[in-house]
Structure 1
Amino acid sequence: MKKLLILVIVLLAGAVGQRAQAQVSTDYDKSVNFSQYKTYAWCTPDIEVGRNPVYNSPLITSNIEATLSTELQKRGLTMNPEQPDLLVGFHTYTEKRTQTVVNPPAPLYYPFGFRAGWRYFPYGYGNWPYQWNTGFQQRQYTEGTLVVDFVDAKSKQLVWRGLIEGAIDNPTRIEREITRGVQKIMKEYPIKAI
């Protein structure tokens, strides 16, 4: 019974302490034949990331466009601003979020991470480790959202949307996270990469 309780608490602590992985979701018009689209042009991006220069950077915008261009080329689309079949736009958004995390464990007195306390011994009462060191704290982090929209250039109707949300706290990894995020979104596009 003790081992089961220990396992449940350890799993719960791990689940609460871990930040969720980036989540991708897509939606599209099921009546559209996506193989008809051969060319695209850019719409003006919508960037809402506040004044923080870490996130409000033209380099991030150009990185998103470059990665999207590569992914579109893999699917047989070429850029043609004069006669596009698709209008491609994207939106970025950041906001501060709060996460509950498990406090680091106290020094281990015994293999199970107990703290000292009073408990009955076979030979009387005494100091014996038995109380769990469970504590939680709030942590602030920045969550970023990238939304990619494909609009039919003739009808002006949205035909496909992909989005990814995730934590973007480490400025040194933003470029890599954006590239991976765009690639994850485009994996869900109805036409697969060639």
Structure 2
Amino acid sequence: MLRMTLLSAAVVLLTACQTTQPQRDYDGSRNFADYRTWAWSEPAINFSPANDPRISSDLVAQRLQDAIAAQLDARGLRPAASPEQADLKIRADMIIDEREQMVTTNYGVGLGTGYWGVWGGGPVMSETRSMNYQTATLQIDMIDADDNQLVWRGSSTDVVRDRSQTPAERTRAAHELAGRVLTGYPPN
């Protein structure tokens, strides 16, 4: 029973760390104040693995596009009247990865010291298990429309949960993820 309790605690700790800090990179020689309008690159959303039906759907793509568009709007970027008039082209990738984490559980009786001296005794046992889980990474690229050079990239990763979500929960999660990715825009 103690072993299962400790293993459950390890699983809770793993899921508590379900998001990573957003990663960002950008071209420091660019004046980001010059970028005012945007249009979607073709294709707007790429999925990897490409044929994975859990993520590669029109519903997921539309949720991501709506979430990214809302975040760009909140940062002062407006959709261009036509793709040819855009300052930036926006491209996003949704990537699902398998990851593994080793979890060690210690149980048993060990030695300790206290007011009355050394106490306890006996073996301390440990068990190491491999836990496999999936992550979803959203990466957003901003490309200068004039020279087709990448000027800004951001990404954030979440642990994929095995619980079902309503469409409203999925929409909220897409907005939260896009918001985390774009927290560092504009960089200057």
Q: TM-score, normalised by structure 2?
A: 0.73
Which residue of 92, 95, 110 corresponds with 1:93? 95
After superposition, residues 38-187 of structure 1 pair within 5 angstroms as 38-43=36-41, 44=43, 45-80=45-80, 81-82=82-83, 83-103=85-105, 114=108, 130-170=122-162, 171-172=164-165, 175-187=171-183
| Whole-Å separation in 2 of the counterparts to 1:18 and 1:183 | 23
RMSD after superposition: 3.0
- Percentage identity across aligned positions? 25
Where 1:23 maps in the other structure, the secondary structure is coil
TM-superposed CA distance for 1:115, in Å, is: 5.3
TM-superposed CA distance for 1:58, in Å, is: 1.8
Alignment partner, residue 37 of structure 1: 35
Conserved? CA contact 1:84–1:153, under 8 Å = yes
Conserved? CA contact 1:71–1:186, under 8 Å = yes
Conserved? CA contact 1:114–1:129, under 8 Å = no
| Whole-Å separation in 1 of the counterparts to 2:149 and 2:51 | 32
Where 2:69 maps in the other structure, the secondary structure is helix
TM-superposed CA distance for 1:166, in Å, is: 3.1
Conserved? CA contact 1:35–1:191, under 8 Å = no
TM-superposed CA distance for 1:102, in Å, is: 3.6
Return the letter of the residue paired with 2:103.
Answer: V
Judged with a 3 Å threshold, the aligned counterparts in structure 2 of structure 1 residues 187 and 133 are, in CA distance, closer, same or farther, namely same
Alignment partner, residue 114 of structure 2: none
Where 1:53 maps in the other structure, the secondary structure is coil
TM-superposed CA distance for 1:175, in Å, is: 4.4
Return the letter of the residue paired with 1:182.
Answer: A
Q: Deviations over 1:83-115 (max 9, x none)?
A: 111100011211212111245x7xxxxxxx535
Structure 1 unaligned segments of length 5 or more: list them: 1-9, 106-112, 117-127
Structure 2 unaligned segments of length 5 or more: list them: 1-5, 111-119
Q: TM-score, normalised by structure 1?
A: 0.71
Segment drifting more, 166-175 vs 50-59: 166-175
